[in-house]
């Protein structure tokens, strides 16, 4: 993993903590949450305050996330909002933390200037010993305060100020006045400089979790369902059906289509379909070279094209399907029929622009893992796991490509591949497609089973 770390592709954008005052603040927060302290003089933290160095020191990568269920966090600076979230257990966690920081940024900036802010992403479930327990998670609430309880004290002070102003004998209540003075010494003048954090709760309808081998849970779609990465038979009875195994490609394709969750890349608005398809073909060739132990030299596009000519009929089916689709896009080939049973099928799709776009693209990355760019962007945990088993040649190619083509313009690359970010005013759930024109009915690869004629 050293090459990934040096290239900023792993542990990138972590926040350095090296000032003695900040280290001590972190230790006090850590002791309050976990009863532990670190002896490290400096370390790095993610958006939640988790440090891989401290995790290694304590021998516990979940020291801020006991049971992998209710994630605790430590905020030393609002700069953490741009950091990644490590050891992800739920796909919604980073989004929730980032929105909490952004919507309370001014208050958090003032609070963290004097103290650390600690809190928890709370839900009604405190353990997930069975898969069915995951379906009891409906809402996540952010609870946070400084170590000294500044936010709580400010609320108490504001309540007493209101009593002093409204109660007829409030100005003669010596106990009330003494309480106000004592609280004001801790919080300052809350009438001029209010100290509060917005109470924020988030619905968790559709999400991915790493528990039980990996589950994609969709409860708020027209047709609810679960995609299980591991053995679905081991999950037991779940309150949502269908439960689809990752190998059930036809059933997954039909379910995605009925919910209107995906669209063909060749029909995606604003997408350079030809460029995207060519790059996917290159990734497939790199995978083929890995399996055949073929020397690709410098692994340039010219080398890859040479390999394609050498393989001839032995080219992977994924490559052949994408090549046929590319010929159609460029106007030089017949309309290809790539059904959901074809190995190239999920490489030809991307999520529609809806609230669960990133979740669907994450599932597509798992269904089309040779596309290493989408895998890195959408499912880093799986990318790192697969990376550890690649040859040095493939590792070098992938790191060089991502450093050259993705790191320099992350936002631009994401927009080119997946379209613009869904707007806040858009519908929360994707609607089934209303258009029933010929291409929508059959797609450029033939029809997925549909109920309508």
Whether 36 is in a domain gets the answer: yes
> Of the residues 204, 238, 272, which one is the last residue of a structural domain?
204
Looking at the fold, whether 282 and 200 belong to one and the same domain comes out as no
Residue that has been written with the tokens 């999950």 in this structure: 235
299, 430: one domain: yes
Is 154 part of any domain? no
In a domain, 231, yes or no: no
Q: CB-hemisphere CA count at 13 Å for 148?
A: 13
Residues 139, 257 within the same domain: no
Claim to verify: residue 60 and residue 124 sit in the same structural domain:
yes
| CA 363, 364, 365, 369 torsion-angle sign | positive
In a domain, 169, yes or no: no
CA angle 373, 313, 402 (to 5 degrees): 15
Q: What is the predicted pLDDT for the residue at 277?
A: 94
Cβ contact 238:225 at 8 Å: no
Residues 162, 194: contact at Cβ < 8 Å?
no
Contact 348, 266 (CB under 8 A): yes
Instruction: Report whether 102 contacts 109 (CB < 8 A).
Output: no
| The pLDDT of residue 67 | 84
Last residue of a domain, one of 175, 204, 233: 204
Tell which residue, 165, 164, 185, 115, has the closest CA to residue 144: 115
Question: CA-CA distance, 255 to 261, in Å (whole number)?
Answer: 9
**Is 191 within the bounds of a domain?**
no
**200 and 303 fall within a common domain:** no
Q: What is the pLDDT along the chain (453 residues), one digit of tens a residue?
A: 788 988 888 988 899 999 999 999 999 999 999 999 999 999 999 999 999 999 999 999 999 998 888 899 999 999 999 999 999 999 999 999 999 999 999 888 888 888 899 999 988 788 888 999 999 888 899 988 888 776 666 666 666 766 767 777 766 677 766 776 776 666 665 445 556 677 788 888 899 999 999 999 999 999 999 999 989 999 999 999 999 999 999 999 999 999 999 999 988 888 899 999 999 999 998 888 888 777 656 667 777 777 788 777 778 899 999 999 999 988 877 788 889 999 999 999 999 999 999 999 999 999 999 999 999 999 999 999 999 999 888 888 899 899 988 888 888 989 999 988 765 444 444 433 333 333 433 444 444 443 433
Query: Contact, 93 vs 37, CB < 8 A?
Result: no
Structure tokens at 133: 């327990």
Q: Please provide residue 379's backbone torsions phi and psi, each rounded to the nearest 5 degrees.
A: -150, 70
Distances (CA, A) of 195 to 149, 157, 249, 349: 11, 10, 52, 47
* One domain for residues 433 and 316: yes
Give residue 11's region: left, alpha or beta (phi > 0; psi -120 to 50).
Answer: left
* Judgement on whether residues 132 and 47 belong to the same structural domain of the protein: yes
The pair of three-digit structure tokens given for residue 81, joined into one six-digit string? 């909002």
Secondary structure of 196-244 in the HEC alphabet? CCCCEEEECCCEEECHHHCEEEECCCCCCEEEECCCHHHHCCCCCCCEE
In a shared domain, residues 200 and 267: no
Do 262 and 145 lie in a common domain? no
Entry pTM = 0.83
Give the count of domains, the chain: 2
Same domain as 291, residue 357:
yes
Residue 113 neighbours by CB under 8 Å, 6+ apart = none
Please, what's the largest Cα pairwise distance for the chain? Answer: 94
CA distance 31 to 427: 43
Identify the pLDDT of residue 313: 78
**Which are the contacts of 52, defined by CB distance < 8 A and separation ≥ 6?**
11, 14, 44, 61, 86
pLDDT of 177 reads 66
Domain around 400: 247-445
Residue 376 forms part of a structural domain: yes
Rg (CA), the chain: 26
Structure tokens, 154:
């400010």
Using a 10 angstrom Cβ sphere, with 0-12 exposed, 13-18 middle and 19 or more buried, the burial of residue 298 is exposed
Q: SS3 for 23-73, per residue?
A: HHHHHHHHHHHHCCCCCCCCEEECCCCCCHHHHHHHCCCCCCCHHHCCCEE
Sign of CA dihedral 26, 32, 36, 37: positive
291 in the same domain as 200: no
Q: Are residues 200 and 296 in the same domain?
A: no
The token duo for 332 is 């030089």
Residue 346: count of CB within 10 angstroms of its CB: 23
């Amino acid at each position: 993993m050293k090459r990934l770390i040096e290239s900023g592709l792993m542990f990138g954008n972590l926040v350095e903590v090296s000032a003695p005052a900040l280290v001590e603040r972190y230790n006090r927060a850590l002791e309050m949450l976990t009863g532990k302290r670190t002896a490290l003089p400096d370390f790095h933290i993610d958006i939640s305050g988790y440090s891989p160095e401290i995790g290694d020191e304590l021998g516990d990568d979940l020291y801020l996330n006991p049971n992998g269920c209710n994630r605790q966090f430590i905020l030393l600076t609002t700069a953490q909002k741009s950091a990644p979230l490590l050891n992800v257990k739920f796909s919604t966690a980073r989004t929730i933390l980032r929105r909490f920081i952004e919507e309370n940024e001014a208050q958090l900036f003032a609070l963290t200037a004097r103290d650390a802010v600690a809190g928890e992403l709370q839900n009604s479930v405190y353990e997930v010993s069975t898969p069915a327990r995951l379906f009891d998670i409906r809402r996540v609430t952010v609870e946070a305060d400084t170590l000294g309880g500044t936010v709580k004290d400010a609320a108490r002070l504001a309540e007493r100020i209101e009593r002093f102003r409204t109660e007829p004998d409030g100005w003669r209540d010596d106990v009330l006045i003494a309480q106000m003075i004592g609280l004001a010494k801790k919080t300052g003048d809350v009438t001029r400089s209010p100290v509060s954090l917005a109470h924020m709760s988030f619905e968790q309808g559709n999400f991915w979790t790493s528990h039980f081998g990996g589950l994609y849970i969709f409860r708020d779609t027209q047709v609810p369902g679960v995609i299980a990465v591991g053995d679905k038979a081991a999950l037991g009875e779940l309150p949502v059906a269908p439960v689809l195994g990752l190998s059930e490609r036809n059933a997954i394709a039909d379910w995605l289509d009925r919910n209107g969750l995906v669209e063909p890349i060749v029909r995606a608005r604003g997408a350079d379909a030809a460029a995207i398809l060519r790059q996917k073909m290159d990734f497939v060739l790199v995978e083929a070279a890995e399996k055949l132990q073929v020397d690709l030299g410098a692994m340039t596009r010219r080398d890859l094209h040479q390999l394609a000519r050498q393989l001839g009929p032995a080219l992977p089916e994924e490559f052949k399907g994408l090549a046929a689709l590319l010929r159609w896009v460029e106007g030089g080939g017949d309309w290809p029929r790539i059904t959901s049973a074809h190995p190239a099928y999920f490489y030809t799709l991307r999520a529609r622009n809806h609230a669960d776009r990133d979740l669907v693209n994450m599932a597509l990355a798992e269904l089309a893992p040779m596309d290493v760019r989408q895998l890195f962007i959408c499912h880093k945990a799986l990318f790192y796991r697969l990376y550890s088993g690649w040859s040095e040649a493939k590792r070098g190619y992938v790191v060089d490509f991502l450093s050259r083509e993705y790191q320099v313009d992350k936002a631009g690359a994401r927009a080119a591949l997946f379209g613009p970010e869904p707007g806040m005013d858009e519908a929360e759930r994707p609607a089934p497609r209303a258009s029933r024109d010929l291409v929508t009915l059959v797609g450029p690869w033939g029809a997925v089973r549909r109920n309508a004629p």
